[in-house]
Amino acid sequence: MRLGLMVVLSGVCLFSRIANAEDLNLSEKPETTSVYLTPYAIGPGIGAQFALNQELKDQSQAFLKFSLSQSWRFKEHWDFGLDLDWSVPGTNVGGLLNLNYVFGENGFRPFVGLGAGIGYVDDPLYTKFGQRLGIAGMGYAGMYIDVTDNAHLRLRVPVEVVGNSKMDRSVGLDIAVLFSLPPYSTKVKKLKY
């Protein structure tokens, strides 16, 4: 009697589990979602800087700037980067570490950021090396625009200060093309269970 009761109870429990199981339709298309792969990106940049203080204006009103830009996306809305810059006329060089907050995740992503590093202004009025060199700081706003899966444009408007003897200041516009491997984002299939 007990054995029969145990068999019946086991059958009821097993049947209730099967009856509650969700129907799985394998012919449904899987959901796709976009996932960031925490990429590293590097590329060349070009831009213009316009002098704001008189000492820098005496050297030139505007400077042509070339850069090598790098970025690492380490969180969903945060980028960390390094820019190595060279401006002409003169041999004006610098390097800045940047931290960006990126708004959105689409093909068009505005951002704001701050940078800090070292700047060297090649001005003949500065007689000593120490007068030309200083800690540099930058604040900027810009946007990323996806061109392909592996490349995007970075446009930004920076305001830069070099803490040398004359506190040289400039504002500008720069454009960089950054190439990333693995792709900046990828689509993965998310199956419904």
Q: What predicted TM-score, i.e. pTM, was given to this entire model?
A: 0.68
In angstroms, the first-to-last Cα distance of the chain is 41
Taking only the tens place, the pLDDT of each residue in 125-154 is 666 656 678 899 999 999 999 888 788 899
Structure tokens at 65: 């700037």
Over the chain, what is the mean pLDDT?
A: 80
In 35-70, which positions are buried (b, 16+ CB within 10 angstroms) versus exposed (e)? eeeebebbbebebebebeeebbeebbeebebebebb
Model confidence over 90-135: pLDDT tens digits? Answer: 888 999 999 999 998 788 899 999 999 998 887 776 666 566 788 9
